[in-house]
Amino acid sequence: MTHSILRIDASARAQGSVTRDLTGRIAALWPAAHVRHRDLAADPLPHLTEDWVSANFTPEANRTATQAKALALSDSLIDELRAADKLVIGLPVYNFGVPSALKAWIDHVARAGVTFRYTETGPEGLLTGKRAILAMASGGTQAGAEIDYASTYMRHILGFVGITDVTVVAADQLALDADASLARALDQIGELQAA
């Protein structure tokens, strides 16, 4: 089976980024895969506007050409997401949360009626059957700790749109012992390869 990977990088650092290194290593585990690389720092997405919100809440059949144009980028990002069977997402922790560049991507792809829907029993994600691997790096925040609003949020939002198979490769608390943290992350990548 040929895999289709959507690799997303969000680190503001073009050079010396731990998450960029990790996402590259993880994507390379499937050398025959088709990899679509989206660099949210080098090519940032616009934040949502009133025109976008208005278009999004207008039924598709009733949208004007201007409204369709307002959603065109979002539609394209969702198409990329749908086409991938694996997501490899760089997750640098900025001030205990996700970078604003990654949050903008989330805002474009988490759309009611498109990637999730509300039912009588609650919300239902529509992007099922995918695997996500988060390459997390932090200075002092421990992955999964009470103050980790990055990986816990990403697990939640991915699950909300139907992606429940989520693995975190954590190079966390780099400020405390960078060498040991990176070694643990590389071990985790090795375990991914074995799985």
Residue 11, marked binder: yes
Closest CA to 139 of 128, 148, 131, 130: 148
* Residue 162 CA to its chain's centroid (Å): 13
Ramachandran bin of 172, using left for φ above 0, alpha for ψ from -120 to 50, beta for the remaining angles: beta
Ramachandran bin of 48, using left for φ above 0, alpha for ψ from -120 to 50, beta for the remaining angles: beta
Identify the bridge partners of residue 117 per DSSP, sorted by sequence position: 124
Which residues contribute to the annotated binding site for FMN?
11
Which residues contribute to the annotated binding site?
11
